[in-house]
Amino acid sequence: QVQLVQSGAEVKKPGASVKISCKTSGYTFTSYFMHWVRQAPGQGLEWMGIVNPSADVIEYAQKFRDRVTMTMDTSTRTVHMELSSLRSEDTAVYYCTRDDKNSWFAFWGQGTLVTVSS
Amino acid sequence: DVVMTQSPLSLPVTLGQPASISCRSSHSLVHSDGNTYFNWFQQRPGQSPRRLIYKVSNRDSGVPDRFSGSGSGTDFTLKISRVEAEDIGVYYCMQGTHWPYTFGQGTKLEIK
């Protein structure tokens, strides 16, 4: 079955960077788009960007374009998301989520809590 | 960006009674390919979101048939025919037609 397993919680200081991983299994890695979505404490969901493993195409939401880098490693079936210049407002749970043949966001990782605090 | 507006934001319901959540988008969600990329998600407390409905009215595998989605263009509705205790959580609408993809603010369903 499809599994998305994310790396563990992180605590970072303002101005630092964080890199989160999402290891996949149970499907052909290059066959589906992967996204990153975040959720600040008690808040809603915010889409950050999309990775197309088959075409090596990555697109970011405008809001994050100057601070986020999403990469993929086909050999380990892992997608990474790095966010730089962290500020307190970046404290959130970050999710990787995969599409299916029907539509967006069919499968979700368990989430990674990133806490930004001095 | 397309703004997704849900109502109500809080929905107290009695077990066994129906519930309805509305979502309105600021732009038509009909894609140039003819599809309407509008989905509903459920997020139970402490869990990751789960997709319930895709492309307006299609239930995902394993989703009880008491959940149904309808709508078109800019106005969409999620209905629960008879609310059960396991339905408590926050429900989000989402559009995948226009870049960037956007979510509604969420509707918190709670039991009276």
What are the pLDDT digits (tens) for A19-28? 999 999 999 9
Three-state helix/strand/coil letters over chain A: CCEEEECCCEEECCCCCEEEEEEEECCCHHHCCEEEEEECCCCCEEEEEEEECCCCEEEECHHHCCCEEEEEECCCCEEEEEECCCCHHHCEEEEEEECCCCCCCCEECCCEEEEECC
Q: Which residues contact B88 (CB under 8 A, 6 or more apart)?
A: B44, B45, B109, B110, B111
Average pLDDT over residues B84-102: 96
Task: Inform me whether the pLDDT recorded for A56 exceeds 80.
Answer: no
Convert the pLDDT of each residue in B4-22 to its tens digit: 999 999 999 999 999 999 9
Q: Give chain B's mean pLDDT.
A: 97
Q: Which residues contact A101 (CB under 8 A, 6 or more apart)?
A: none
Angle at CA of residue A60, ends B39 and A23, nearest 5°: 75
- How far, CA to CA in Å, does A81 sit from each of A40, A78, A98? 16, 10, 14
Question: CA of A97 to nearest chain B CA: how many angstroms apart?
Answer: 10
Residues of B in contact with A113 (CB under 8 A): none
8 A C-beta contact, residue B20 and residue B91: no
The pair of structure tokens assigned to A41 is 């404490």
Average pLDDT over residues A32-61: 92
Q: Which of B37, B99, B105 sits opposite A103 (nearest CB)?
A: B37
Question: CA of B34 to nearest chain A CA: how many angstroms apart?
Answer: 14
Convert the pLDDT of each residue in A64-89 to its tens digit: 999 999 999 999 999 999 999 999 99
| pLDDT score at A4 | 98
- How far, CA to CA in Å, does B15 sit from each of A17, A97, B68, B80? 46, 31, 17, 11
Residues of B in contact with A103 (CB under 8 A): 37, 39, 51, 54-55, 96
Taking the Cβ of residue A46 and every Cβ of chain B, the question of whether any pair is shorter than 8 Å is answered with: yes
- Fill in the DSSP letter of residue B86: G
Task: Inform me whether the pLDDT recorded for B60 exceeds 80.
Answer: yes
